């Protein structure tokens, strides 16, 4: 044996595989309220005894919802170690009311798909299964300036971040939506400036209005904290614009790819680490 070549590790020397992350048990929930926020946005309140103990993990945290398959009146309860449900999608818990065992979830109606199709026809008493919560966005307690750049898929996450900001902070928000009809008041204790950016119905234009708005912004504060959440490829382009052209340090930007063109089941943990 060449002394400079390490021996293959024996089974006892080989590193142990990382333990699989234990899934949280699914919670059965029912629709208790449906609110029309805009032509393309529905706020659906889910309730159920199994929401006991459910609490979001900070602003922009996430949950997973399991939808019925064709022919089902309600989805099958997933087994703790069973396969991943086919019709499962990731959402932001917008508001959680533990005293009434309720959670509000906002849905964008974007055409065909398990979640969008279901939300468009959601009725009182319909059943879903809910899993989570997953981790959210850690606010920098020292930062006074925040830039939130998002499309409509991340609007609920933006709202939870705005709700968590203190009055001592200022927030500039760039929001790309389908049309001007999606505009509605947003609220925060922070000093708030919101720009709505209609994209049109062409999803292949995703990110272009955000890019144009970013290029026309006055100088971004050197210590600004930036939350960037939209279509996955657009998120990468916009982060490159921020770092390479506008000189923002990458460690001041949190990127999230909420969806991806031509991909049905985009993962909920796309942070753009491959770019």
Q: Residue 180's pLDDT is what?
A: 96
- Residues of the chain falling short of pLDDT 50: 1-19
* Residue owning tokens 């879903």: 128
Task: Classify 25 as helix, strand or coil.
Answer: coil
Same domain, 31 and 121: yes
How many folded domains does the chain comprise? 2
CB 226 within 8 A of CB 251: no
pLDDT in tens, 141-183: 889 899 999 999 999 999 999 999 999 999 999 999 999 999 9
Alpha-carbon separation of residue 234 from 26, 244, 249, 260, 268 (angstroms): 33, 15, 18, 9, 16
- pTM for this prediction: 0.87
Alpha-carbon separation of residue 75 from 46, 93, 111, 118, 130 (angstroms): 15, 20, 21, 12, 11
Question: Among 102, 134, 166, where does a domain finish?
Answer: 134
Evaluate whether residue 68 is within a structural domain.
yes
- The DSSP code for 243 is I
Domain membership of residue 117 as a residue range? 27-134
- The DSSP code for 74 is S
Residue partners of 200: CB distance under 8 A and separation at least 6:
178, 179
Bin 185: left if φ > 0, else alpha if -120 < ψ < 50, else beta. beta
CB burial of residue 195 (10 Å; 0-12, 13-18, 19+): middle
> What is the Cα–Cα distance from 166 to 206, expressed in whole angstroms?
31
**What pairs with residue 82 in β-bridges?**
none
Q: Residue 175's pLDDT is what?
A: 98
> What is the Cα–Cα distance from 87 to 204, expressed in whole angstroms?
24
**Residue 197's CATH number:** 3.40.50.80
Same domain, 182 and 126: no
> What is the Cα–Cα distance from 83 to 172, expressed in whole angstroms?
42
Evaluate whether residue 266 is within a structural domain.
no
Same domain, 126 and 151: no
CB 109 within 8 A of CB 119: yes
Question: If residue 170 lies in a helix (H) or strand (E), which one and from where to where?
Answer: strand 170-177
Same domain, 124 and 156: no
> What is the Cα–Cα distance from 139 to 161, expressed in whole angstroms?
8
Question: If residue 220 lies in a helix (H) or strand (E), which one and from where to where?
Answer: none
Same domain, 52 and 120: yes
């Amino acid at each position: 044996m060449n002394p400079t070549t390490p021996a293959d590790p024996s089974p006892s020397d080989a590193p142990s595989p990382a333990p699989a992350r234990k899934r949280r048990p699914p919670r059965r929930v029912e629709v208790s309220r449906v609110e029309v926020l805009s032509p393309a946005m529905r706020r659906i309140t889910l309730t159920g005894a199994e929401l006991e103990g459910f609490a979001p993990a900070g602003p922009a945290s996430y949950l997973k919802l399991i939808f019925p398959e064709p022919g089902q009146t309600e989805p099958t309860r997933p087994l703790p170690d069973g396969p991943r449900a086919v019709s499962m999608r990731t959402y932001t818990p917008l508001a959680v009311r533990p005293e009434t065992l309720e959670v509000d979830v906002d849905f964008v109606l974007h055409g065909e798909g398990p979640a969008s199709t279901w939300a468009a026809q959601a009725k009182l008493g319909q059943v879903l299964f809910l899993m989570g919560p997953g981790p959210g966005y850690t606010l920098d307690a020292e930062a006074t300036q925040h830039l939130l750049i998002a499309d409509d898929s991340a609007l609920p996450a933006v709202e939870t971040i705005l709700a968590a900001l203190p009055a001592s902070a200022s927030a500039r928000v760039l929001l790309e939506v389908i049309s001007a009809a999606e505009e509605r008041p947003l609220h925060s204790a922070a000093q708030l400036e919101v720009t709505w950016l209609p994209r049109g119905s062409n999803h292949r234009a995703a990110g272009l209005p955000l890019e144009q708005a970013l290029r026309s912004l006055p100088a971004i504060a050197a210590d600004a904290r930036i939350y960037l959440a939209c279509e996955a490829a657009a998120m990468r382009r916009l982060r490159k614009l921020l770092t390479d052209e506008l000189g923002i340090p990458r460690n001041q930007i949190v990127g999230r790819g909420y969806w991806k063109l031509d991909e049905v089941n985009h993962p909920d943990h796309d942070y753009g680490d491959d770019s």
